[in-house]
């Protein structure tokens, strides 16, 4: 945990850790291939551990839940389809009336 002074200065890490990190980085500015490989492997194993933890949280819905949500989706699709059909017909009628009043359509 960072101290109050460190937070005010914008430092997130305690000074003891930073000085050790700075010493290590200043002695070897570019990590060699083995250090990078170990870093990549560590990141990869951490990722797989996180994936496994998240997969344990996944719950498969029951058949009853799937049927209920499918029914809701189908009803919503038909309601929205009917709504957009009606709105389209209203706009079609209004545009037809406007065009005939302006002389764009000859009956």
Domains of the chain, by residue range, sit at: 4-57, 62-107
Average of per-residue pLDDT across 57-61 = 94
pLDDT recorded at residue 74: 98
Radius of gyration of the chain (CA): 32
Please tell me the pTM assigned to this model: 0.48
Using one digit for the tens of pLDDT, what is the confidence trace for 6-42? 555 555 555 545 555 555 555 555 668 888 888 899 9
Residues 6+ apart with CB under 8 A from 100: 107
pLDDT of residue 61 exceeding 70, the answer is yes
Q: Is the pLDDT higher at 5 or at 53?
A: 53
pLDDT at site 29: 59
**pLDDT tier for residue 92 given thresholds of 50, 70 and 90:** very high
């Amino acid at each position: 945990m960072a101290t109050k002074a460190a937070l005010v200065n914008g430092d997130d890490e305690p000074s003891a850790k930073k000085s050790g990190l700075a010493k290590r980085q200043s002695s070897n500015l570019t990590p060699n291939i083995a250090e990078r490989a170990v870093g990549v492997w560590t990141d990869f194993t951490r990722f797989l551990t996180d994936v496994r933890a998240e997969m344990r949280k996944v719950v498969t819905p029951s058949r009853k839940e799937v049927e209920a949500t499918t029914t809701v989706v189908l009803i919503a699709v038909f309601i929205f389809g009917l709504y957009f059909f009606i709105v389209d017909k209203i706009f079609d009628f209004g545009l037809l009336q406007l065009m005939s009043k302006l002389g764009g359509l000859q009956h």
